[in-house]
Amino acid sequence: MARTNFTTPVGRLLMGSLYKAQTTDAEGKPLVNKSGPNIGQPKVQYFFAVGIPKGTEQHWSQTEWGSKIWAVGHAAFPQQAQGRAFAWKVVDGDSQEPNRTGKKPCDREGYRGNWVVSFTSGFAPKIYNKDGTAQIVEPDAVKLGYYVQVNGDVDGNGSSQQPGVFINHSMVALSAYGPEIVVGPDASSVGFGTAPLPAGAMAAPVGGFNPVAPAAAAPQAYQPPAPAAAYQPPVPAAAYAPPAPAMAAPAPNPAFLAVPPAPAMPPVPLAPPAPAPKQMTAKAGGATYEQMIAAGWNDTLLVQHGMMV
C-alpha cells in the first residue's frame, strides 16, 4: 500500500518540539539511518507527540485517522503487523505497561484519556494558524501543552529487523492554547532557599552595600539649640537737667551734662572649626558616611558596630 496522507483531530502537544532537531536517541546514542541507501549514517530528526482524546472506540484503529495507519502497517508487513513488537507509533495513554525505559504511559503528563501519536521527520514542520490561512513564523510560538492539528503521512519503515511504520509530519496548525508543559524538575520544588547561610554570607553584594538599620530607637534629626537673643544695650538715661531755681543757680558741673558713653559690645563668637571628616572602616563595605546616615545610622551606632572611627 502506498504512502497515505492524513490529518489528525485537535490534540494536545505532549512531547518533543516543533522547532528543535534531535541528534541522539532516548539512550543518548547518535541517531543514524536504519534503512535505505544512507543506512548507518548520522541523521537529525524533528520529533513530537500529540495526544488525541479518546471517543467511544475501543482501539485507535477504529478511528478515521487510525484506520489509515492500521491499513498501511498491515499492507507493508502482513505477518509482522500481528505481533506485539510492531512499531505502530501510537500508544494508549491509559496503559500501565512500562516502555523500554521503564516508564508507564499513564504516568506521563497529559497521556491519560488519549491516543498518543508520535511524529518524526528530517525537517521542521511548517506551522499555521488554526484554519491554515496564515503561517506562524515566530520562534517557539507553539509550546508543549498547546492544542494542535497535524497533517502528515504514514508508510512502512522498510526494516525487517524492527518492522513498523513511519508517521511523518508535514504541517501543524495551532488550534488553541493550554497549560504549558514544563520538561524537567520544577525549580521551586527542589529545595532552593531552605538551607541556612554559612558564616560570612551576605544578603547583598559588597560592592553595592545597602545596610539595614539595626533594631534600635529611631534616630532623631539633629536640632541645633536656639541662638541667644541678640544683645541689646540699655537705653542711656536722658541728659540730666536740674529744675530751674527760683534764683540764679551756679553753673552745673560739666560732668552732669555729658551723655554717658554706650557700654562696650561683647565680642562676637567665632564660627566653630569645621568637623574633621568621618573615617569609615572596612566593615562599612565601601559605603560612605553620607550613605550610612541616609540609611538610618548615626555616629554612635557606626562607632559601636566598628564601621567608623
Q: Quote the pLDDT of residue 141.
A: 97
What is the number of residues in the chain? Answer: 309
pLDDT at 256 over 50: no
CB 163 within 8 A of CB 78: no
**DSSP-derived 3-state class of residue 104:** coil
Assign domain 4-182 to its CATH superfamily.
Answer: Nucleic acid-binding proteins (2.40.50.140)
Task: Give the count of alpha carbons within 13 A of 173, CB side only.
Answer: 16
Q: What span, in angstroms and rounded, lies between the C-alpha atoms of 112 and 51?
A: 9
Mean of the pLDDT values across residues 66-73? 97
Chain position carrying cell 495526544: 51
Sequence-ordered list of residues with C-beta below 8 angstroms from that of 24, at least 6 positions apart, any chain: 30, 31
Q: For 7-53, what is each residue's pLDDT tens digit? A: 999 999 999 999 999 998 877 889 888 767 788 889 999 999 999 99
C-alpha closest to that of 115 among 11, 219, 185, 231: 11
CB 297 within 8 A of CB 213: yes
pLDDT at 227 over 60: no
Q: Quote the pLDDT of residue 264.
A: 61
C-alpha closest to that of 148 among 269, 57, 12, 277: 12
Q: Where are the domains of the chain?
A: 4-182, 277-309
Q: What span, in angstroms and rounded, lies between the C-alpha atoms of 285 and 292?
A: 11
Q: For 137-193, what is each residue's pLDDT tens digit? A: 999 999 999 999 999 999 999 888 899 999 999 999 999 999 999 986 666 666 787
pLDDT > 90: percent of the chain: 48
If pLDDT is split at 50, 70 and 90, which confidence band does 239 have? very low
Q: What span, in angstroms and rounded, lies between the C-alpha atoms of 296 and 305?
A: 14
